[in-house]
Amino acid sequence: MLLIKSNKRGWIRIVEAFVAVLLVAGMILFLFNRGYIGKSDISEKVDNEQKIILREIELDPTLREAVLSPSVPIGSQSNDNPSLFPAIILDKVNERKPDFLECITKICALDEICTLSSIPSEIQGKDIYARSIAITATANMYNPRQLKMFCWVR
């Protein structure tokens, strides 16, 4: 009789330990599935980098004038024909962007949807992060335009 009671206690402890292991394993799997562990979200980092670069361009009078210049055609894209795109803007973007990003910058009319006119083959299938700013005037001219950055992780 004494032997049977101790066996029951042993089985109860084994079941308790098994349930505890299942609960811990379930929580770990839940956290992995939700992306809290082992998954880094690069989108916030890319968005912050784009904000910083565009804010610097927006606040610098020389860069603003380069975007608003009548000699720069609307729709000019930094990768299509770099001679039509303001070199000072291209230099600022290349100087400030981190090494893990590649970016294309485009100048569009303020009232149009600004999209990439040509998508390079190296970004096929990658996530493209886009952010734009409106630059409307300087002290000497009013020529509203938007400057849009399209970035992706290398």
Confidence of residue 5 (pLDDT cuts 50, 70, 90): low
132 bridge partner residues: 148
Do 67 and 87 contact (CB within 8 A), yes or no?
A: no
Query: What does R_g of the chain's alpha carbons equal in angstroms?
Result: 28
123-142 burial string, b = 16+ CB within 10 Å, else e?
beeeeebbbbbebeeeeeee
Residues 7-58 pLDDT 10s: 677 788 888 999 999 999 988 888 777 655 555 678 889 999 999 999 999 9
Model pTM above 0.85: no
93 bridge partner residues: none
Residues 109-133 pLDDT 10s: 999 999 888 777 888 888 899 999 9
